[in-house]
Amino acid sequence: MSGPAGTTPHASSRAAVLDVIRAAGTISRVGLVKATGFTGATISTVVRRLIDDGLVLETGRAESTGGKRRVLLQLNQSSRFAVGVHLDHAGLTYVLTNLGGSVVARMSRAGVGTDDPPVVVARIATEVDALIDGAGIDRSRILGLGFVTPGPLDQTGGMPLTPPAMRHWEHFPLDRELGAAVGLPVVLENDATAAALGEHWSGDIGGTATFAALYMGTGIGAGLMINGVTYRGAGGNAGEIGHICVDVEGPECWCGARGCTEQLAGPGAVVGAALADPELVRSAGLTSTGERPRRIADFAAITRAALRGDPRARTLLERSARYLAVAARTLANIMDLEQLVLTGPSLAIAGSIYLPVVQEELDRSFFSRATHSVPVRLSRSAATAPAIGAAALVLQSELVPLREGLRLPDNLGDAEPSGQPAVR
């Protein structure tokens, strides 16, 4: 058994104090003692170092409560930055955030298709340079780069199992190559987990909520937060609801199983069914061909057709939504969730069609519905949540303490190795 977090003033107490200041906005040293349980002497030492390092500022005094007026502390938001990169088959999304997690620059670029990993890594390095230069940020103040891909990731810094379109990425030493190319420490994470963290940092969800981010990009996954802390599971790949079985007699999936959610509900399934319907191809203006699948573009075209009243398009999307809703119910029953957020590029497009179907399923069939409901909402940043979460991962490595019993990236601190993902 390792000791309780933060009982001695190591780097993890520094991280804990930073996290409390971030969450509070402004707070006094006495407030920090109360919130963290550290002694006054520890808080005094930690805060002095944070101020010396330029991470925290003193900012006026609190109203008097009879005694001495207390100096307030706040994050020096622009003292440090992080880069977040989200690679999906459909495109690359970049964000640059400050220490508080606010986006100070963003850009989107076309997908990488079947390009070889080294080519993609070189391209990303160039685009990251453009992002940083465009924002006019001094490179020495950038803590690192969070890189987010479809899972699963393994402990060696690569992807041991990939969707067919990314098969050539298997076992590529992504973290090492990318780190060398951009000259920054790299944290890896899967898209859905990063999206959940992005939602958490966006502040739309209570700080200690137990919720899932149901993610749909090219694939389907879920990111899990338990009482405000990322849950990654034994191997770093929890939340793989794209590959849970919703139909034992369903079609075979690329993952080797049968009846997976992704196979039945994913954008690929919707577009595949639409392409088999010549009238819908025409009415929705679909452009995929055998050689050039344009899944997300065609998924968006089908959604637009549905929203303007095309019944064939609507039928396909609602069938997909019903499968996704069943998977959401399974997830809610296993995790006993407080809330569910729909996010990711495909739900940024079609979320308004999926939301009522998922909510209705949970209202009708969530097993513990007599105890509490599970409200579902659409993310306000569904398209960029994974990239924001990627940057937040880097900031967390400076900010968030190693909480006992849960695995967190804290390798910039003094914590023991704690599973995926690691800063390398």
- What gap in Å lies between CA 374 and CA 336, rounded to an integer? 9
At its nearest, how many Å lie between a copy of itself and the CB of residue 44?
16
At its nearest, how many Å lie between a copy of itself and the CB of residue 229?
5
At its nearest, how many Å lie between a copy of itself and the CB of residue 302?
22
- What gap in Å lies between CA 225 and CA 194, rounded to an integer? 10
In sequence order, the β-bridge partners of residue 411 are: none
CA distances from 96 to 22, 191, 362, 395 (A): 18, 17, 36, 11
CB of 92 or CB of 340, closer to a copy of itself = 340
CB of 273 or CB of 297, closer to a copy of itself = 273
| Among the listed residues 122, 130, 124, 98, the one whose alpha carbon sits nearest the alpha carbon of residue 110 | 124
At its nearest, how many Å lie between a copy of itself and the CB of residue 92?
25
CB of 105 or CB of 402, closer to a copy of itself = 402
- What gap in Å lies between CA 184 and CA 166, rounded to an integer? 24
Q: Please give the structure tokens belonging to residue 329.
A: 């119910």
- What gap in Å lies between CA 235 and CA 366, rounded to an integer? 28
CB of 210 or CB of 411, closer to a copy of itself = 210
Tell me the torsion sign for CA atoms 197, 333, 317, 166: positive
Q: How far is CA 364 from the centre of its chain?
A: 28
CB of 198 or CB of 259, closer to a copy of itself = 259
CB of 10 or CB of 176, closer to a copy of itself = 10
At its nearest, how many Å lie between a copy of itself and the CB of residue 188?
13
* CA–CA–CA angle 88, 94, 97 (5° rounding): 135
- What gap in Å lies between CA 217 and CA 355, rounded to an integer? 16
CB of 24 or CB of 62, closer to a copy of itself = 24
At its nearest, how many Å lie between a copy of itself and the CB of residue 84?
23
- What gap in Å lies between CA 155 and CA 401, rounded to an integer? 21
Rounded to 10°, the helix 311-335/267-275 angle is 160
| Among the listed residues 350, 330, 328, 353, the one whose alpha carbon sits nearest the alpha carbon of residue 341 | 328
- What gap in Å lies between CA 282 and CA 396, rounded to an integer? 48
CB of 6 or CB of 144, closer to a copy of itself = 6
At its nearest, how many Å lie between a copy of itself and the CB of residue 137?
29
At its nearest, how many Å lie between a copy of itself and the CB of residue 278?
28
- Residue pointed to by tokens 């034994």: 234
User: Helix or strand or coil: residue 94?
Assistant: strand
CB of 16 or CB of 95, closer to a copy of itself = 16
User: Helix or strand or coil: residue 253?
Assistant: coil
Helix H or strand E segment including 72: strand 71-75
At its nearest, how many Å lie between a copy of itself and the CB of residue 35?
5
